[in-house]
Structure 1
Amino acid sequence: MIDKDGYRPNVGIVLCNGRNEVFWGKRVRQDSWQFPQGGIKHGETPELAMFRELREEVGLRPEHVRILGRTREWLRYDVPREWVRREWRGHYRGQKQIWFLLRLTGRDIDVCLRATEHPEFDAWRWNDYWSPVASVVEFKQQVYRLALEELQHFLQVDNQPAKVRRAYGYGMKAHNGRY
């Protein structure tokens, strides 16, 4: 389902733990890391899509998380033409997303990257709140920054730039795909 402007409705998920570190997933068979995200199906609300994507990509159910907040408006990013499927070229521009900030109320062991037959991630780790902005693929960086800026008031998060915080090695505990 693509809107008249060429954007596919989507949800993004910022899942944080009790230390305000965020879940960072490694795409299957790629050296690419990102937040969980996915399309909104016809008839689905953004919240229902978020819970479905959370279950499919991270293996967590509603009882494992608490919603802390969401972005007020759609945030958009354009996908580079070479990344767009040929059949979509000409009418597809990118994604428009509603972002949710969730608190993990369950445990790390509740994360299950193999909750479906087609997992999105093969590893994950907790990261400092701001470091994903500099680490995600370039065309998503602006949306990540906007989402994190808007959602930060739901947490008490240091406004320190990601570059400085990464220099000190904050939030780099990794988990392999066995979860």
Structure 2
Amino acid sequence: MSRDFPDWIDAERAAQAGRRFAGDVRIEWMPRVRDLLDAPAPDDVIEFEIAASLDRSPGSGHIVRLDVHVFGSVPMTCQRTLKRYMQPIDTRSEVAVVASEDELAGLPEELEPKLVPEGRLKLVELVEDELLLALPLVPRDPDSAPVENAGDVFERAEPEEGDNPFAELARLRGTDD
């Protein structure tokens, strides 16, 4: 496991310098993700690569851009079998760092905005955000077989012979007329 990245970066300065960051993040350092997983081990990690750059657009100044790649696998509970499996993760996204909501209007649609009012960005939080977006809503092990339809498992019930309560009601109604 490598921990060759800073806790915080000044996104604008990193973009001006064309900095790149890479490493492994322990899942235990990401509480929002950790609570969604199936008992991650203390040494479970997710890998990331982040490249910072400036996009200069005529008339709109510049955009601090982060190309984020998060990959690895995380332990989850399959909702078909209720057994643990390793969910593969490989996600890429393009993030625009903005200091205020006013800057959101001028962003290209392909960029995901990341609001950082103080200008300092915590790399582990960015990786955690991207990992949360990559997790499936309903985890299913790709190797698990689909559950049979309930119609295939249970026999269809045949109507029982006997008195129909509505027939009895119709008979009673007919005598009162």
Give the TM-score taking structure 1 as reference length: 0.23
Which structure has the higher relative contact order (CA within 8 Å, separation 6+)? 1
Structure showing greater radius of gyration is: 2
Give the TM-score taking structure 2 as reference length: 0.23
More strand by share: 2
